[in-house]
Amino acid sequence: LYASLQKLWSGLRTPAAVQVEILESLVNAADPSANMVTLFQHYNEQLSAQLPLIQMSTRREYLKFRIKTLRRFASEGGSSPNKQSDVKMEELEEEFQKHMAEFGTLDQRLEQGISGYNERFGLRFLFDGKDYLEVIHQDIAAEQALSDIDEKLKKLEAHEENQEP
């Protein structure tokens, strides 16, 4: 069990202070044999449950960064009239759509996984010190607002094109 715990701590980059705190709580258990094993197993289960959530959260953060970068690039470089630029923009749009699809899938999987983790262990799942379920919900709200703005801009552009002689 201890080797498994060390491996999880290493993979999760658990701070030394947290490791010491957990080990002290294990050592100070009233009945070292029964309580220690129970506490150890529970903590091991908790870390094992965190690992896939952290992996998905890390991937989600990468995708979020990449999507933001692609949007910025499209808004800055999307007005060039040459053919090579059009091909590049098509490739970027394809990459953007792939990332958005994966991002949506990760959101669904993370919402389910984090809710299950929170319920199972009676704790809030944190990623980079933040309640990650809240981060996901904030990102979803921001994405919806951005989508609403994009839709309004498209309608405004279409209306202006219809107004021109």
* Residue 30 clears pLDDT 60, i.e. is over it: no
The confidence score (pLDDT) of residue 26 equals 76
* Residue 66 clears pLDDT 90, i.e. is over it: yes
pLDDT tens readout for residues 85-95: 666 888 888 99
CA atoms within 13 A on the CB side of 134: 8
* Residue 151 clears pLDDT 90, i.e. is over it: no
Burial 4-16 (b: 16+ CB within 10 A, else e): ebeebbeeeebee
Looking at residues 152-160, what average pLDDT do you find? 76
Q: Is the dihedral of CA 151, 56, 116, 18 positive or negative?
A: negative
pLDDT tens readout for residues 41-52: 999 999 999 999
pLDDT tens readout for residues 112-145: 999 999 999 999 999 999 999 999 999 999 988 8
Q: How far is CA 9 from the centre of its chain?
A: 20
